[in-house]
Chain A
């Protein structure tokens, strides 16, 4: 299985901050990398697919980059509604696997 490692596991930030979350794959996954936002009691929400494609309806402050093994999710200006846990996921090969999550908390 391809292991996905996110860093950091958690972070504290203020509204308006630029936030960067990284995801590293245990082998090359080309650009088959997705990012999700998950709030407690809610369904996870797709933010970015294929490493850098913004899902329809997602604010442009979210962006993704990377290819191969190293990927980044950036929130350019953190908003109150962005406090959540973020997961990366690889769909390069089955079984599809997720990172362990990065919890973004209010500073």
Chain B
């Protein structure tokens, strides 16, 4: 059974870089039918998709965060990472890593999720 686990600082100062890593266990991050994503949930709000990376390194970012976001993958460690630069209090959220499965007919759905990690932006 594939499991995802986020790790990284829970507190980041304004204007600094938020960095998180998602470790994938129980399966290979290099499987061709998965796109590895970051999703966040602001306190009391809904879910916001940040972007995805394919094991080859190709990425897509939500335009709302694109200018500040970088997602990378390390297949040798079976993990992928998120960096968000120039953070403000508005970036305070629970951050989830997730795996989106791609199936025939261009259907995508998130069937693997991490537990989520709260990142607070505060001085």
Interface residues of A (CB under 8 A from B): 1, 31-32, 34, 36, 41-46, 49-50, 55, 87, 89, 91, 94-101
Contacts and interface: CB of A to CB of B under 8 A. Distances in A.
B113 interface: yes
Interface of B: 45-49, 60, 62-64, 96, 98, 100, 103, 105-111, 113-116
Nearest to A43: B113
Contacts of B110: 34, 36, 44, 46, 89
B108 A91 contact: yes
A32 B102 CA distance: 12
Contacts of A100: 45-46
Contacts of B63: 1, 95
Interface majority SS on A: helix, strand, loop or mixed? loop
Given A44-B110, A91-B107, A95-B63, 17 more contacts: A31-B107, A32-B106, A32-B107, A43-B96, A43-B115, A49-B107, A49-B109, A50-B107, A50-B109, A55-B109, A89-B110, A95-B49, A95-B62, A95-B64, A96-B108, A98-B46, A98-B47
A94 B60 contact: yes
A55 B111 contact: yes
A45 to B, nearest CB: 8
B64 to A, nearest CB: 7
A7 to B, nearest CB: 14
18 contacts: A1-B63, A36-B110, A43-B114, A44-B96, A44-B98, A49-B109, A50-B103, A50-B105, A50-B107, A91-B100, A91-B107, A91-B108, A95-B63, A96-B108, A97-B49, A98-B46, A101-B46, A101-B47
